[in-house]
Structure 1
Amino acid sequence: MSLPTSLALLTLTLTGAALAAPKEPIKFAVTLEQMRGHYDASLLNYRNGDLAMAAKHAKHPANELYAAVRGDLTPALQQKFLADYARINQTLAAKKPYAEYQKVMNTFYADVDTALATLGAARNDPKFAAQVIAQILENAEHEYEEGVQGGKVTNLAEYQDAISYVARARTWFDRSARNFPQRQRDETAGALRDAAAVIARKGDVKTLEKAVDQAKEELGEISGVKQAPKSSNAAYFANINRLLAAAKAHYAGGMTDDAEEALIGAYLENFEYLESPLAKQDKALETKLEKTLREDLRALLKSKPSAQKFNAAVDAALAELKKARALLGE
């Protein structure tokens, strides 16, 4: 017995909506907020006349972060995001007035909101919001560690990322705070203020870590997800090795998008946390590996090389990673 046409269409619509739901909702939301954070920093620099720094921030959403969410975006949103990136880059390159740059950026922000709407009811769940805020703050702490040493800004882009990420965390908190228990709400608000103050005065990273840990502890009580212990360097290296092996397997199987996602994970979720300790041991090797994992392997992937050529490039990176691991005593 066939379904009535209207019911069949409704079934297809509901099925399509289910398929559109992100497979890793927390990671999806946090990555979108990272995009916004980069563009917030780009806007600030653009307004201040630093177009070079504005361009540096603007390249991250499309060049690095998009691949991490692409598979969770509907085809229509994929097209919108790519069109937004193109308009943003064109406006930046043409050095249009700030108001025009802000206008195209606001279009992208609206599309991010549409993407977040695919989370459904989860987006308004205080437990979900608490996990998103905690992860954004962890990312801010990492960026700050990369950007400030001894009370001085050593990497302006990373420092500005830390500022933007804390602001994005604060936005999520302000929207969700009324649904948090009062004690956790008050303690988290205080920790967020402390974190922002440490960053503003370029304070010690340990002081920032203390504020972030306090916020994460309170947020963990809300979400029921306790703070995970910080990963060791050995764990990061192991994850990179696993993800690079996965990239090779995916590419050999014709799954280029999956291969790129594995490369993104190897860099963003693992090697970034090794950059600071490795730079203290061998800055040249750290710089080389950062470029390889962040840019070169993905650029090679996009050129559609033979599986043999791609595997050789990945194996060369693994050999360099082995040297880095030895330097860090892992």
Structure 2
Amino acid sequence: MTSIILSSPSFAFAESVQEKSEFASSLEETLGHFWALEQNLDDKNAELALIHATHPISELYDSMKPQLKAADPALDAQVQKTLMDLKDKANTTISRAQAQQAIDNAKGVVAIARSTIVGDELSNDSAFKVQLMKVLLDTSIAEYGEAVSDGVIGEMAEFQDGSAFVWRSQQIFAEIESDIDAHIAEEIDESYEDLWNAYDAKADPLEIQTIANRIIHELDESQEAKIEFASSLEETLGHFWALEQNLDDKNAELALIHATHPISELYDSMKPQLKAADPALDAQVQKTLMDLKDKANTTISRAQAQQAIDDAKGVVAIARSTIVGDYLSNSVDTKLILMKVLLDTSIAEYGEAVSDGVIGEMAEFQDGSAFVWRSQQIFAEIESDIDAHIAEEIDESYEDLWNAYDARANPLQVETLAGGVIHEIDEVLGVEDEGNDLLEYVETIEELLDQTKQEYAKGDTDLALSLATKAYLDNYEFLEAPLIELGQRELMEEVEVMLREELRGMIRNGEPISEVNAQIDAIQAKMKTIGTVVPEFGTIAMMVLVVAITSIIAITAKSRINLRV
């Protein structure tokens, strides 16, 4: 299962963001040293105060100087002088108030440097701050490891560095805590308490590493909801592309399907985040997508229809910037993950659409090709940012994948080829390919349905509908093709109707809790049956794998797929 961008950043832009991130990290470490300096001045520890007053100029400034000098030579000189003077102006030989004034002056120049080099927009991006927290925590692990052994502090300066970076990461967390899921935020708060207790106990470095990594893991989880939201936006853009192709072909029926799908399926999964962040934007997104089916069809001019689509693309861009944020949206890693989600979904759609070389469900076939297309568009945005050999392999795999679509190849061939692209992406991301355990989908669906029950009983119909939608779109769709391969089409279609149409319709219509619960119980009973069936799919897949790989070589068509029969 995939773990969980309209603007296309050039390599220079991606490189610039990375440089800004590194610069900002140096600033955060500098602020950590200022805090440690303050603690030592309070304790009248002249030796350690001098170490922390000196470290920013002797270590961190060198990494920042090139960007400072390039952006503003006068500011570079100001930063250098302020940090150079700190060791003379912030020590135990002058009054504590005078020392604090010197530190405050240094904090002021750090703020100016941040605004000038990093920029206020990026500096205030929650995802960017999460990244800075992770860097600080990673560095704190290394510092503590150098400082403590067998419950004894051997290097006090490094011990204080570690605690200073933990402190600074916690300060940043306080700035973004309200933007994070309440349960995850609570887990992070508790982990910080555990981490400070471990510092007090001079715990084994491995214990410190475990707790700090737990915070980092929770921070990663906090970003997953944003990436899930972004994946819904990417599928929406895929449908817009399919809509455009069908309008060009004057296919009113299929145009209507793709104009309707974003509001009938994808919007429900996005609504809770939109509504929480900006109710007015939520209303705007809902109205724009609702209107699309009336404004983008074959009864009006093609130019008028395109204007409606372009308006919808505009609101998607606003929603992306508001919910996901520009930093996370423009991250190469994020885009790679979104490619994986789109390709995974395309596999499921194609599996429903094609059998024995014949397209049985044209809408699903077009969904699959639209998601492959959108994944390839994202790849074009980041191709120059990844290893040239891997990029070449991905380009070749896309060509093979389109050829397989042209040939109406066996779904397992398409899965193998799309899986090849996913494998290359995993290489770039540095993650192991664990494969998609179909039973994980079954278990996730059951968990999401349990949560749907709970939220519906509380009266939160929006969240209940979102959870039910995720159970279908993000999980059940990936079981449909394997169920068909196992000869369980009737079971697949029965559960699809129960989950996709009936349950979601009941939630939308505000049916009694008892009836909604009964429907969920019935679906979960069917999922138990599916759970006993899907493990057999692995055996079938292995039997045809060699055939899939061999036969695809025979596909020679070089034309790109078009949305046609």
Write out per-residue CA displacement over residues 283-327 of structure 1, whole angstroms, 9 at most, x where no aligned residue.
443322211211111111112222222212222333344444456
Q: Is the contact between residue 22 and residue 28 of structure 1 (CA under 8 Å) also seen in structure 2?
A: no
Q: Residues 257, 214 of structure 1: CA spacing in aligned structure 2 closer, same or farther, 3 A cutoff? A: same
In 1, are the aligned partners of 2:243 and 2:259 still within 8 Å (CA)? Answer: yes
Distance 2:394 2:357 in 1: 25
Structure 1 equivalent of residue 393 of structure 2: 187
Match of 2:458 in 1: 253
Match status 1:47 vs 2:252? no
After superposition, what is the alpha-carbon deviation per residue over 1:176-235, rounded to whole angstroms, capped at 9, x for unaligned? 112112122222222122212211222233332232222112211222233331122x33
| Partner in structure 2 of residue 96 of structure 1 | 300
Q: Is 1:299 paired with 2:505?
A: yes
AA aligned to 1:192 is Y
> In structure 2, what is the Cα distance between the partners aligned to 1:38 and 1:313?
30
SS, match of residue 408 in structure 2: coil
Q: Does 1:220 align with 2:426?
A: yes
Could you tell me how far 1:282 is from its partner in structure 2?
4.4
Correspondence for 2:376: 170
- Note the C-alpha offset of 1:16: 9.6
Residue equivalent to 1:243: 448
The partner residue of 1:148 within 343, 354, 360 is 354
Q: Take 1:245 and 1:325, find their aligned partners in 2: how far apart are those partners?
A: 17
Which residue matches 1:112? 316
8 A contact 2:345–2:478 mirrored in 1 = no
Shift in Å at residue 165 of structure 1? 0.9
Question: What CA RMSD, in Å, does the superposition of the two structures yield over aligned residues?
Answer: 2.8
- Whether the 8 Å CA contact 1:126–1:176 is kept in 2: the answer is yes
1:282-321 equivalences in 2 (<5 Å) = 282-321=488-527
For structure 1, the 5+ residue unaligned runs are 1-9
Q: What's the TM-score once normalised by structure 1's chain length?
A: 0.87
- Cross-structure match for 2:111: none
Aligned CA distance change for structure 1 residues 138 and 283 (closer, same or farther; 3 Å):
closer
Distance 1:317 1:210, change over 3 A: closer
CA contact (8 A) 1:67 1:264 kept: yes
Counterpart of 2:464, as a letter, is: A
Higher deviation after alignment, 73-82 or 93-102: 93-102
CA distance in 1, matches of 2:317, 2:434: 29
Q: Which residue matches 2:41?
A: none
* C-alpha distance 76-186 of structure 1, shift in aligned 2 (>3 A): farther
Q: Match of 1:226, SS?
A: coil
Cα distance in 2 between the residues matched to 1:126 and 1:43? 28
Equivalents in 2 of 1:138, 1:329: separation in Å? 19
Q: Deviations over 1:88-114 (max 9, x none)?
A: 122257822222121101111122122
The reply on whether 1:36 has 2:237 as its aligned counterpart is yes
Structure 1 residue matching 2:237: 3-state secondary structure: helix
Change (3 A) 1:306 1:61: same
Q: State the identity %.
A: 26
Q: Which of the residues 306, 316, 333 maps onto 1:127?
A: 333
Report how far residue 75 of structure 1 moved: 2.6
Quick one: structure 1 residues 129 and 328, their matched pair in 2 at CA, closer, same or farther if it must change by over 3 Å?
A: closer
| CA positional deviation for 1:156 | 0.6
**What do the CA deviations read for 1:128-167 (whole angstroms, capped 9, x no partner)?**
2211112211211221111111221111111111111111
Residue 7 of structure 1 aligns with which residue?
none
Evaluate the alpha carbon distance shift between residue 211 and residue 79 of structure 1 in structure 2; reply closer, same or farther with a 3 A threshold. Answer: same
2:283 is matched by which residue type in structure 1? Q
Task: Indicate if the aligned counterparts of 2:348 and 2:480 stay in contact, CA closer than 8 A.
Answer: no
Tell me, in whole angstroms, the C-alpha distance in 2 between the residues paired with 1:97 and 1:154.
30
Deviations 1:39-82 (Å, cap 9, x if unpaired)?
22122223322211211222221111112222333333312211
In the TM superposition, residue 174 of structure 1 has moved relative to its aligned partner by 0.8
8 Å contact from structure 1 (residues 23, 72) kept in 2: no
**3-state SS of 1:24 partner:** helix
Q: TM-score when scaled to structure 2?
A: 0.52
CA distance in 2, matches of 1:260, 1:163: 27
Residue of structure 1 in register with 2:407 after alignment: 201
Structure 1 residues 79, 16: CA separation in 2 closer, same or farther (over 3 Å shift)?
Answer: farther
**Distance in 2 between residues matched to 1:305 and 1:67, nearest whole Å:** 17
Q: For residue 15 of structure 1, report the CA deviation from its aligned partner.
A: 9.2
**Distance in 2 of aligned mates of 1:47 and 1:82:** 25
Structure 1 residues 197 and 94: CA distance shift in structure 2, 3 A: closer
Q: Distance in 1 between matches of 2:440 and 2:236?
A: 26
- For these two proteins, the number of residue pairs brought into alignment is 319
Secondary structure, counterpart of 2:435 in structure 1: coil
Whether contact under 8 Å (2:296, 2:308) holds in the other structure is no
Over 3 Å counting, the alpha-carbon distance change for 1:221 and 1:167 in structure 2 is same
SS for the counterpart of 2:228 is helix
Does structure 2 conserve the Cα–Cα contact (< 8 Å) formed by 1:243 and 1:262? yes
What is the identity, as a one-letter code, of the residue corresponding to 1:44? Q
Q: Is the 8 A contact 2:452 2:467 kept in 1?
A: yes
Distance 2:490 2:411 in 1: 24
